[in-house]
């Protein structure tokens, strides 16, 4: 597992991963914010996928939630991240 480190230096804050400079503080904040949004979306999808196989009310709710979402949460987050990265 990679290790993220923040360090405050006279030149400014930096984000390092495995000892290598990755980004300035502002860039790092955007990277980690995007990471948090992706993790939240993956947790939501994981929970719904876990329950959608069940033949219960809980399973029906999960299937409906996935159907209603139709991948939009992922599409939205990925679009925002690509826009932030200038792609």
pLDDT values of the chain reduced to their tens digit, one per residue, 87 residues? 455 554 554 455 666 666 666 666 566 666 667 778 888 888 989 899 989 889 999 999 999 999 999 988 888 888 887 787 666
* pLDDT confidence of residue 57: 94
* pLDDT confidence of residue 10: 45
Residue 41 in contact with residue 34, Cβ under 8 Å?
no
Residue 44 in contact with residue 73, Cβ under 8 Å?
yes
Q: Is the pTM of this model over 0.85?
A: no
* pLDDT confidence of residue 3: 53
- For residues 50 and 7, give the distance between their C-alpha atoms in angstroms, rounded to a whole number: 39
* pLDDT confidence of residue 64: 94
Residue 49 in contact with residue 58, Cβ under 8 Å?
no
Closest CA to 75 of 45, 30, 49, 50: 45
* pLDDT confidence of residue 36: 80
């Amino acid at each position: 597992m990679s290790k993220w480190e923040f360090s405050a230096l006279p030149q400014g804050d930096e984000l390092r991963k495995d000892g290598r400079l990755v980004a300035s503080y502002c860039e790092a904040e955007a990277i980690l914010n995007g990471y948090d949004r992706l993790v939240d979306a993956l947790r939501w999808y994981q929970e719904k996928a876990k329950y959608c196989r069940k033949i219960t009310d809980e399973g029906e709710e999960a299937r409906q939630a996935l159907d209603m979402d139709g991948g939009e949460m992922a599409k939205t987050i990925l679009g925002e991240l690509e826009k932030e990265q200038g792609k």
